[in-house]
Structure 1
Amino acid sequence: MANILAARIDNRLVHGQVGMTWVNSLNANLILVANDAVSNDPVQQSLMSMVVPAGVAMRFFSIEKTLSVIGKAADRQKILLVCKTPQDVLRLTEGGLVLPEWIVGNMHFSEGKKQIRPTVSVDEDDVNTLKKLHELGVKLTIKGVPTDSGEDIMKLI
C-alpha cells in the first residue's frame, strides 16, 4: 500500500495551511488531490501549486484514477492525500482505499449547513456520509493544524 502519511478533508483542498504547515509537519514530498472536478481544472491546479514548497510534488487525480494508481506509489513517495468532501472519501473507501483515519479540516458553512465547529459545517448528506464512513471503521478527527489535539466528529453530529 502507498505510504500515505495523512489524509485530509478540506473543501479548499490545498492552501497555505495544507501546503506549508501539514506538508512540513509530516515531511510529505507529494500532495495527492483526489477530486473529479479539480482533476480537470488547470486553473485551480495552478493556484494550489503556488502554495507548495519547492521539492514537493503535486498530483491531481479523479477518484477513479486515484483508486487505480495509489497502490503503485513508490516507497519514496510520502503522501498527503487531500479530498474536498466526505463524499469523495466515501467513494475512495468503497472503492477499496480504506484508511484508518481522515482528518477533517475545513467544511465551510453554506446555505442548508449547520456549523458544528468554527471551520466545520455539515448538511444532512454530509452527516449521512460521515456516519457511513464511521460504520466502515474510519476514524474522523477534526484538526485544523497538526498540533491540535483533535476531536472526534462523530461526537458532534
Structure 2
Amino acid sequence: MGEPNILLTRIDNRLIHGQVAVTWSNHLGTNLILVANDEVSKDQVQQSLMDMAAPENVQTRYFSIQKCIDIIHKAAPHQKIFIVVRTPEDVLKLVEGGVPLKKVNIGNMHFSEGKKQITSTVSVDENDLNVFKKLTDKNIECIIQRVPDEIGKDIKKFF
C-alpha cells in the first residue's frame, strides 16, 4: 500500500484525554487516534473510557506495539493517523519495527522516583534520555510541547 499517513506521534502517559482528544486532534485534522500500548490493547474498560473522551468524528484503535508494527502499513490513504503512546521506549520499538515516524511530540511524562523534572509536564531519567538520543540519531524530531499553540522545546537541549 504506500506509507501510512501518520500526522504525529505523541508520548503522553494519560493516552487519550481532553488535550489529546480535542486540542491536538482538531489542530492536526486527524480522523484516527491510534493508541499503541500493550496493556490498553487488552483492557476494554480503559478503551471505553478513552472512547468517551474522543471526538465523535474521530475513530479510535487500541493496538499492542507489535500489532501496530504489523499492520500500520495496511492503513488506508484517507486515514490521518495520530499515534499516542505512553513511553519513549514504545516509540523506539515502533521505529525499530519499521513504523515510519518523523516527529514525536513529548506531551506528558509524569514525575516518579528517579526522574528529574525538565519542564512542567515532562520528567525523565537517564534511560528516557538515552532513548530520545537514539530517536534523534535516527533523524526523528523530538519536541516537548503540551499544546499546539505553545512553543516546543527540542529534547536535544536536555542531553
Q: How does the TM-score come out when normalised to structure 2?
A: 0.95
Q: 1:61 aligns with which of 60, 63, 87?
A: 63
Greater CA deviation, 56-65 or 93-102?
A: 93-102
Q: How much identity, in percent, do the aligned residues show?
A: 57
Deviation at 1:98, TM superposition (A): 3.0
Unaligned runs of 5+ in 2: none
Displacement of 1:76 in angstroms is 1.4
Does residue 122 of structure 2 align to residue 120 of structure 1?
A: yes
Deviation at 1:107, TM superposition (A): 0.4
Gaps of 5+ in 1: none
Counterpart selection for 2:134 from 119, 123, 132: 132
- Residues 8-87 of structure 1 mapped to structure 2, 5 A cutoff: 8-87=10-89
Deviation at 1:133, TM superposition (A): 1.1
- Matched residue count: 157
What is the match of residue 97 of structure 2? 95
Runs of 4+, deviation exceeding 6 Å: none
- CA deviation after TM superposition for structure 1 residue 127, in Å: 1.3
TM-score, normalised on structure 1?
Answer: 0.96
Give the partner amino acid of 2:79. Q
User: In the alignment, residue 76 of structure 2 is paired with which amino acid?
Assistant: A
